[in-house]
């Protein structure tokens, strides 16, 4: 398992920047994680649940209509939207749920932006018989009402966070506060490759099934690896899961896609921390984040709630700094155009988060030869976003 150094750093990024009350629980979590990862019976149960409950492997789909409309390279989609609960998040919550049960924890908490991680955590709580409490910004509660209903239907308690920007950053702050006061009984199911060590490594290892499957599927179907692997990046779990299997394949170029929102030049109008941020500490790790000159976290914006976060996982920061991956921004309008294009050309309604990656995949494909392949991860389906547009009156034209 490739991973950080003994202190939890990927190069200069990562670490454990947490209050003293959380330092020892994180050490215990790391020990439990390493013991579980060394236990084949743990992985056997994980794989059975992915197969029988989540529905893996997820399909690899060549988007021929989208390719023809775009021109250039073939666009191939890894369909994480086909998973139970409709997104990649379930891969991670199955793993963390198993680890929580192994550690004897009796309660799960989570933070969520788009709500998919909250739904996935609530799902696993129902399956394992563990109570779940989810922290979600009040702004996101309004724009992702379908997922809020689903979490409550699954038995979870949803806390509306009304501090700060009332989005993912603030939900994460509240989840950390809860955990600091309940570490003996509570397992914090973090939804991305963010936070203090060992979370970035743990989440990556549960998410890497995306890339491992896609790599094997590419070789079986095409007899070669893709020229590009593209995925959207908020905190970065689906992207890190997609990239992990290809890190040693230097001929495969990796591209992460951030939310450029209203434009990178608009203060508070985007969430592109790798593209436009600076190095600092957020939620327990040293990474790239959006901050002002005094180190205060900046306001963010994205059409997609799941990308509306002012930081990014430390391994992504390391990949950017070493040049192994490149990161670009896609604005709201381009993401919405891709959202509509995939629906109309392929009959697939992607999450708005995923639509950012689809938009960038089309940009890349248009400039590549026809025998090239751009592999893009559709991290989730767009039911939540379609409902939002329908309720807002933002209809479509026939």
The last residue of a domain, from among 203, 222, 252: 203
DSSP-assigned letters across all residues of 264-331: TTSTTS---HHHH-EEEEETTEEEEE-B-TTSPBPP---SSGGG--SB--HHHHHHHHHTSEEEEEEE
Candidates 30, 80, 111, 133; catalytic one: 111
**Which domain range does residue 219 map to?**
57-86+208-392
**pLDDT over threshold 70, residue 319:** yes
Is 89 annotated as catalytic?
Answer: yes
**pLDDT over threshold 70, residue 394:** no
- Render pLDDT for 239-265 as a digit per residue (tens, 0 to 9): 999 999 999 999 999 999 999 999 999
How much is the mean pLDDT over the chain? 96
The answer to whether the CB of 286 falls within 8 A of the CB of 13 is yes
Maximal CA-CA distance, the chain: 58
Residues 40 and 123 in one domain: yes
Residues 22 and 81 in one domain: no
Q: What is the CATH number of the domain that holds 35?
A: 3.40.50.1100
CA-CA distance, 289 to 270, in Å (whole number)?
A: 12
Q: Which residues on adjacent β-strands are paired with residue 375?
A: 76, 229
Q: How many domains does the chain have?
A: 2
Residues 62 and 170 in one domain: no
Range 353-387 burial, b when 16+ CB lie within 10 A, else e: bbbbbbbbbbbbbeebeeeebbbbbbbbbbebbbb
Residues 37 and 64 in one domain: no
Residues 163 and 233 in one domain: no
Please give the average per-residue pLDDT across 257-276, as a whole number. 97
- Render pLDDT for 286-310 as a digit per residue (tens, 0 to 9): 999 999 988 999 999 999 999 999 9
Q: Domain for residue 29, yes or no? A: yes
CA-CA distance, 145 to 353, in Å (whole number)?
A: 16
Please give the average per-residue pLDDT across 353-363, as a whole number. 98
Q: Tell me, what's the pLDDT at 398?
A: 40
CA-CA distance, 332 to 143, in Å (whole number)?
A: 15
Q: Tell me, what's the pLDDT at 1?
A: 56
CA-CA distance, 353 to 275, in Å (whole number)?
A: 17
**pLDDT over threshold 60, residue 231:** yes
Q: Tell me, what's the pLDDT at 388?
A: 86
Q: What is the distance, to the nearest Å, from the Cα of residue 21 to the centroid of all Cα atoms in its chain? A: 27
Grade residue 396 by pLDDT with cuts at 50, 70 and 90.
low
Candidates 78, 89, 105, 384; catalytic one: 89
Is 379 annotated as catalytic?
Answer: yes
- Render pLDDT for 98-149 as a digit per residue (tens, 0 to 9): 999 999 999 999 999 989 999 999 999 999 999 999 999 999 999 899 999 9
Dig out the tokens for 10 from the structure: 């990927």
**Residues 6+ positions from 296 with CB-CB distance below 8 Å:** none
Residues 261 and 293 in one domain: yes
Q: Tell me, what's the pLDDT at 246?
A: 98
CA-CA distance, 308 to 315, in Å (whole number)?
A: 19
- Determine how many CB atoms are found less than 10 A away from the CB of residue 69: 14
Q: Domain for residue 1, yes or no? A: no
| Sheet with 60-62: strands ordered across | 60-62, 74-79, 373-378, 228-232, 253-261, 325-331
Q: Domain for residue 251, yes or no? A: yes
Residues 36 and 78 in one domain: no
Q: Is 71 left (phi over 0), alpha (psi -120 to 50) or beta?
A: left
In 3-state terms the chain splits into helix, strand, coil percentages (rounded to 5) of 45, 20, 35
What pTM was estimated for this model as a whole? Answer: 0.96
Share of the chain above pLDDT 90, in %: 94
Residues 192 and 290 in one domain: no
Q: Domain for residue 155, yes or no? A: yes
Q: Tell me, what's the pLDDT at 387?
A: 87
Q: Tell me, what's the pLDDT at 393?
A: 74
The last residue of a domain, from among 170, 203, 236: 203
Q: Tell me, what's the pLDDT at 3?
A: 86
Is 251 annotated as catalytic?
Answer: no
Residues 282 and 175 in one domain: no
Quick one: DSSP state of residue 11? T
Residues 369 and 246 in one domain: yes
**Residues 6+ positions from 106 with CB-CB distance below 8 Å:** 130, 131, 185, 186
Q: Tell me, what's the pLDDT at 362?
A: 98
Q: Domain for residue 2, yes or no? A: no
Please give the average per-residue pLDDT across 50-70, as a whole number. 98
**Residues 6+ positions from 294 with CB-CB distance below 8 Å:** none
Q: Domain for residue 371, yes or no? A: yes
Q: Domain for residue 3, yes or no? A: no
Q: Tell me, what's the pLDDT at 395?
A: 56
- Render pLDDT for 181-219 as a digit per residue (tens, 0 to 9): 999 999 999 999 999 999 999 999 999 999 999 999 999
The last residue of a domain, from among 150, 170, 203: 203
Residues 173 and 309 in one domain: no
Q: Domain for residue 345, yes or no? A: yes
Number of residues that this document lists for the chain:
398
Residues 292 and 348 in one domain: yes
């Amino acid at each position: 398992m490739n991973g950080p150094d003994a202190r939890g750093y990927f190069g200069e990024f990562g670490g454990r920047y947490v209050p003293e009350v959380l330092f020892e629980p994180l050490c215990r979590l790391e020990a439990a994680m390493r013991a579980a990862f060394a236990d084949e019976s743990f992985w056997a149960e994980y794989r059975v649940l992915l197969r029988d409950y989540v529905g893996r492997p997820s399909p690899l789909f060549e988007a021929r209509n989208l390719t023809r409309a775009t021109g250039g390279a073939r666009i191939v989609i890894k369909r994480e939207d086909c998973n139970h609960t409709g997104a990649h998040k379930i891969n991670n919550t199955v793993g963390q749920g198993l680890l929580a049960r192994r550690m004897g924890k009796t309660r799960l908490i989570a933070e969520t932006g788009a709500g998919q991680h909250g739904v996935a955590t609530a799902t696993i709580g129902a399956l394992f018989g563990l109570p779940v409490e989810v922290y979600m910004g009040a702004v996101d509660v309004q724009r992702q009402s379908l997922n809020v209903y689903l979490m409550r239907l699954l038995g979870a308690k949803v806390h509306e966070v009304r501090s700060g920007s009332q989005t993912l950053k603030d939900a994460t702050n509240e989840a950390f506060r809860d955990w600091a006061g309940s570490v003996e009984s509570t397992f914090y199911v973090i939804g991305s490759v963010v936070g203090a060590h060992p979370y970035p490594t743990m989440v990556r290892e549960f998410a890497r099934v995306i890339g491992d499957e896609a790599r094997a599927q590419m070789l079986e179907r095409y007899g070669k690896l893709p020229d590009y692997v593209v995925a959207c990046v908020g905190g970065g779990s689906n992207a890190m899961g997609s990239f992990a299997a290809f890190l040693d394949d230097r001929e495969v170029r990796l591209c992460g896609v951030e939310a450029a929102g209203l434009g990178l030049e608009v203060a508070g109008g985007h969430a592109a921390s790798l593209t436009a941020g600076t190095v600092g500490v957020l939620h327990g790790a040293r990474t790239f984040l959006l901050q002002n000159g005094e180190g205060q976290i900046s306001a963010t914006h994205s059409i997609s709630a799941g990308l509306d976060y002012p930081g990014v996982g430390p391994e992504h920061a390391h990949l950017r700094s070493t040049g192994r991956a490149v990161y670009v921004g896609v604005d709201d309008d381009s993401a919405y155009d891709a959202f509509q294009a995939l629906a109309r050309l392929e009959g697939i309604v992607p999450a708005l988060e995923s639509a950012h990656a689809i938009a960038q995949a089309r940009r890349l494909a248009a400039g590549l030869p026809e025998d090239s392949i751009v592999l893009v991860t559709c991290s989730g389906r767009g039911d939540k976003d379609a409902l939002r547009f329908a309720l807002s009156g933002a209809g479509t034209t026939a």
